[in-house]
Structure 1
Amino acid sequence: MPADQRRRVDPARMVAFEVLKAVRVDDAYTNLVLPALLREHRLSGRDAAFATELASGTIRWQGTYDAILTACIDRPLSKVELKVLDGLRLGCHQLLAMRVPTHAAISTTVDLVRFRVSQGAAGFANAVLRTVSQQDLAAWITQVAPDAATATSHPAWVVDELRAALGRDDELEALLAADNAPPKVTLVARPGRATRDELPGEPTRFSPYGVVLAGGDPGQVRAVAQGRAGVQDEGSQLVAIAAAAAPVEGSDARWLDLCAGPGGKAALLAALAAERGAGLVGSERQPHRAGLVRKALSGSQGVLGVVAADGTTPPYRTGSFDRVLVDAPCTGLGALRRRPEARWRRRPADIAELVPLQERLVGSALDLIRPGGVVLYATCSPVLAETSGVVTAVLQGRDDVVLEPVELDVPDAEGPVPGTVQLWPHRHGTDAMFLALLRRR
């Protein structure tokens, strides 16, 4: 392509296009691949914000946009080249959900498709997007999306799981809407290393260490750049706080984060442990993620070490810890606003694969704590099989364990089992974290 045509391709839209490709081809996560692309294309400020919303919003609303595109194209979407489909989805989001003038949304998308695919594909994209532009999103939803799943861009099985977890239909619409709302950036001050007062933003509702950032790049915040504070959802902060707050009988010197990667909760736990003269071991199965934990804990007090180890067969002595956090691998359906691609990547079969792993991890953790010690089990999924199902199975399989109430002062957060906690994005503004506290007799 001639240089003058390359110059016409908007860098922010190019970044969004590259994010969609990475998610589709490499199974990348939007929140992980996007920062590197922003740096590569030297985008900041409004351009970075535009690229972020364009990429994340397009992935969130992909299901609805595909239904609209199906109505505008005279062939199955499976017959449309995937690179062209990525461009069409980006165009839909600009036309239907962003304050981009119609002519700009169409022309810039056509330029992008021309640059990345071909002249013929650009003409096809132009015709399709002109058809899309004839109605607004509400009108299109009325026409092509009569069901809640398509209208809110969630797979039907995910809607069913969330409805069952809520246990009520009157909040389902609010929950699905919250999943599609861009999350605000939340920072955490790590106790003993930073204070909340030195962080810019409004204090979080429930965590005494968090603030909601009004805007800008969190990496430019001095305490974040120095590792004394970090970016962390308030729900994740509350998991670490609850793990540290649970009373234990006797010694309280050795703590373990059994599934510590990438290290955000471990960093807060280590800071809380250091305040009490305790120490934390960070354990993570995958070596590269264990490296991320080491980086997150760099400079922290209260760190006994970081180990790359399988949590189901841990290399620690039985009864050698006083408290253990098990933030288990899960479907992640409680963090769809933050990880929009998860709704399209996960399948119902994943639940059946993950639940036995979660049960084994909790069982290992219970073996690792001494009598009187505690295990906090947490997931960023509200799916009942991963929450109450795991807790019930563990309790039925052991006579040396008792379930105790989680000590968090958060209203309207009753979990599916008495004493457990279930946070919700539409109620609490957090990811849908589940917490259960188990004590070894």
Structure 2
Amino acid sequence: MPKVPVPKVDGARLVAFDVIRAVAEKDAYANLELSRLLREHRLDGRDAALATELVGGTLRLQGSYDDVLDRLAKGKLDPPVRDALRLGAHQLLSMRVPTHAAVATTVDLVKDRIGHRPAGLVNAVLRRVSERSLDDWLTNRSLAARTSHPQWILDALAEALARPEELDALLAADNERPGVVLVARPGLCDPAELGGAPHPVSPYAVQLEGGDPGAIPAVREGRAGVQDAGSQLVALLLARAEVDGRDERWLDVCAGPGGKAALLAAIAAERGARVLANERQPHRATLVAQGARAARAGLAGVIAGDGTRPAWAESSFDRVLVDAPCSGLGALRRRPESRWRRTEADVTELVPLQVSLLDSAVGALRPGGVVAYATCSPVVAETAGVVQEVLARRPDAELVPATSYLEGIADAESAHLPGAVQLWPHRHGTDAMFVALLRRT
């Protein structure tokens, strides 16, 4: 019988390359594509960890690697070849992979996935890359190249931070692989059940040292979930805010994929309240329902609808959450491809939608009720700018100091909207979440 050829390239590197190509060609989300391919190739343990590091690290530092590669490669690089070189550069410059192993495996990857023709070029370029450290390659290069952030994002983050002395720390935090944080949904799970260490931003947050969260029974059963501590705080601030009178009907206007809705539903169930979860996209609405299955006692239902054209009556809710679609520039460490996918034009297009969603949410409140407006972006136009515009157009709304509901969290006030909360990865170990509270008067 003829022998079956054994692939020279290990599964982790094949998966990493395929994920990065899917991000470039299909606008895929790296985390979702990675999870799918890890399951498909049945990779776990060290192989899954290697693939995860290759994908996340290569995408985070893509701008720095391109700065090096463009000085070494003559002529224009085809996109698949460039992606293979980025993977090789990451192993040489940011991982402890020996030069011969990094070069040889990348050349074999190119032969397997692209063809033999560019193999010589890849071999030659990577051997040149290996001659210097990343710091040496980036000496005297631009801040954008050294920190692997597009210039427009550097400018937007610097404006939002409003502390020039902290910019380097923020950019460095964006390039660090975030730890896995779990949420123990109240009434369903005790944080001690999850292991790990408490996170100071949320009483329900636990940070894991490592391992597969899906192997934890509480996560599999929906009593706990993977959720950044900053996202947990968004739900907590809405739940902590004082409302006048009745407190039974809550609304999550943009609920997909469902993490905040599940936490809100668990909190609501303990208080005898219920949450109506709305999500515009039907497939994401399905994810919301699945994610909140363990907290269904606090869930009034899940509907698929447009939050700017509400299916609910005016003045009918006591608490409303608007976790608005945004540029996502506060989660660059967790979604590294966003920095290469987003443009300034995206922010310009998103702001009118954000204003419309918040305006509609205020209208959904009864007098005395409270709305939380949140984004996983610190960009001024998407945060303070949106809230200020809605306050200017709605005399029946007033800003409530969200900072008064922080418990043990220091230095978290927005530099552009006093009373609003702005978290930062380098200060608080979270995504750069923004939260403002408004009351309908």
Structural mapping, 1:148-297, within 5 Å: 148-297=143-292
Residues 350-386 of structure 1 show CA distances to partners (whole Å, capped at 9, x for unaligned) of: 1111111000000110010100000000000000001
Alignment partners' CA distance in 1, 2:335 and 2:374: 18
Give the AA of the match of 2:294: G
Q: Is the 8 A contact 2:174 2:333 kept in 1?
A: yes
Deviations 1:147-182 (A, max 9, x none): 211110000000000000011210000000000000
The CA distance in 2 between the partners of 1:44 and 1:216, in whole Å, is: 10
* Equivalent residue, structure 2, for 1:356: 352
Aligned partner of 1:395 in structure 2 is 391
1:120 to 117, 120, 123: 117
> 1:8: Cα distance to partner?
1.1
Runs of 5+ unmatched residues, structure 2: none
Please state if 1:311 is matched with 2:310.
no
Q: 1:384 aligns with which of 376, 380, 383?
A: 380
Match of 1:374 in 2: 370
1:14-29 map, 5 Å? 14-29=14-29
Pick one of 324, 327, 330 that aligns with 1:334: 330
Shift of 1:3: 7.2
- 2: distance between equivalents of 1:335 and 1:262? 15
Give me the whole-angstrom Cα distance separating, in 1, the residues matched to 2:260 and 2:294: 15
- SS of residue matched to 2:275: strand
Residues 423 and 432 in structure 1, CA contact (< 8 A), matched pair in contact too:
yes
CA contact (8 A) 1:6 1:115 kept: no
**TM-score, structure 2 as length reference:** 0.97
Matched residues in 1 for 2:19 and 2:3: separation?
23
Deviation digits for residues 246-301 of structure 1, max 9, x if unmatched?
11011100000000000000000000000000000110001111111111111322
Q: Secondary structure at the match of 1:340?
A: coil
Root mean square deviation, CA, Å = 1.1
Which residue in the other structure is 1:62 paired with?
A: 62
Give the deviation of 1:196 after TM superposition.
Answer: 0.4
Shift of 1:137: 0.4
Q: CA deviation at 1:4?
A: 7.0
- The DSSP-based 3-state class of the residue aligned with 2:300 is strand
TM-score of the two chains, using structure 1 as the length reference: 0.97
Cα deviation, residue 11, structure 1: 0.4
- 2:34 is matched with 34
Deviation at 1:6, TM superposition (A): 4.5
Task: Please point out which of 138, 141, 144 is paired with 2:138.
Answer: 141
C-alpha distance in structure 2 between counterparts of 1:248 and 1:116, whole Å: 59
SS of 1:119 mapped into structure 2:
coil
Letter in 2 for 1:194: C
Conserved? CA contact 2:188–2:294, under 8 Å: no
In structure 1, C-alpha distance between the alignment counterparts of 2:255 and 2:161, rounded to whole Å: 28
**Which range is displaced more, 20-29 or 174-183?**
20-29
Alignment partners' CA distance in 1, 2:329 and 2:189: 32
Quote how far apart the aligned CAs of 1:343 are: 0.3
Question: 1:10, 1:332 → 2: CA distance?
Answer: 33
Name the aligned partner's letter for residue 103 of structure 1: H
The Cα offsets for residues 281-329 of structure 1, whole Å up to 9 and x where unpaired, read as: 1100011111111111113221100000000001000011100000000
Deviation at 1:7, TM superposition (A): 2.1
**1:411 aligns to what?**
410
2:423 maps to what in 1? Answer: 423
Distance 1:244 1:299 in 2: 19
- Between the aligned partners of 1:298 and 1:247, the Cα distance in structure 2 is 27
Residue 86 of structure 1 deviates from its aligned partner by 1.0
Question: Is the counterpart of residue 129 in structure 1 residue 147 in structure 2?
Answer: no
CA distance in 2, matches of 1:137, 1:352: 35
Q: 1:403-438: per-residue Cα shift (whole Å, max 9, x none)?
A: 011111210001121110000000000000000000
Q: Where does structure 1 lack aligned partners over 5 or more consecutive residues?
A: none
Cα distance, 1:117 vs structure 2: 1.1
Identity %: 61
SS of match in other structure, 2:117:
helix
Shift of 1:136: 0.8
Contact 1:200 1:214 survives alignment (8 Å): no
> Structure 2: which amino acid aligns with 1:349?
A
2:250 touches 2:274 (CA, 8 Å); kept in 1?
A: yes
Tell me the matched-pair count: 435
* CA distance in 2 between partners of 1:322 and 1:33 (Å): 38
Three-state SS of the structure 2 residue aligned to 1:417 is coil
Matched, 1:8 2:8: yes
Cα 1:5–1:120 shift into 2, 3 Å: farther
Q: What SS class does the counterpart of residue 432 from structure 1 fall into?
A: coil
